Amino acid sequence: MKRALFMTVGTGVGLDKENKVRNLAHGLLSSIESYNPDKIVFFGSEESIETVESLKEQYYEKKGKELENYEFVRLKDIDDFYECYTRIEEEVKEEEKEGNEIIIDYTSGTKTMTTSAAICAMLYQKKLSLVAGKRGENGVVTPGTEAARVQNLFAAYDKYLLDRAKEAFNSYRFGEAMGYLDRIYYKI
């Protein structure tokens, strides 16, 4: 099974454009190094391409080789939930056809992009990750302190399944209710 890493990509924060892009790309690179994916799918705006270019440069500086097996999915409206969610979902479905493991990294991007990524991870039960570390000026993670962190979504999965079980039970669909309960990760 191959591993695909999906990453929402923004443009960074701060006044110094060059440093904000470089710092953001450095953080995203730590996720790539952590997961060592066979394929990367970046989601972002036209402006986000600059972040990906910086990431590629830093990858080459660090590894001495080109970043391969990636694609960039351009989002026309990074603040439109329907577009962001639909594009991520389409790619998830495509990778599922191949039987690949999917990790969704929502470290960067607009709130709409990252929310879309998180919801997609929840609904399709994919590993959700972000890069965290010691925060410095403007709340930006300090370079060198980054670490990829998987987010545990089981609390949300379990609440969703428990609600479905209650609905089924109250509709006298007891077998269906038991099926939902059997899928709950943390047993009650």
pLDDT of residue 13: 73
pLDDT of residue 14: 66
Cα–Cα dist 105/114, whole Å: 9
pLDDT digits (tens, 9 = 90+) for 79-122: 999 999 999 999 999 999 999 999 999 999 999 999 999 999 99
DSSP conformation letters of 109-172 = S-HHHHHHHHHHHHHTT-EEEEEE--B-GGGPBPTT--EEEEE--HHHHHHHHHHHHHHHHHTT
> Taking the complete model, does pTM exceed 0.95, yes or no?
no
pLDDT of residue 185: 72
Q: Is the pLDDT of residue 188 over 50?
A: no
Instruction: State the Cα angle at 6 between 4 and 11, rounded to 5°.
Output: 145
pLDDT of residue 147: 79
Strands of the 101-105 sheet, one edge to the other: 70-74, 39-44, 3-9, 101-105, 127-132, 147-151
Mean pLDDT of the chain: 91
Q: Average pLDDT in the 13-29 region? A: 80
Cα–Cα dist 12/108, whole Å: 8
Q: Which domains does the chain have, with CATH numbers?
A: 3-151 (3.40.50.10770), 152-188 (no CATH)
pLDDT digits (tens, 9 = 90+) for 37-73: 999 999 999 999 999 999 999 999 999 999 999 999 9
pLDDT digits (tens, 9 = 90+) for 139-183: 666 777 787 888 988 888 888 899 999 999 999 999 999 999 998
Which of helix, strand or coil describes residue 175?
helix
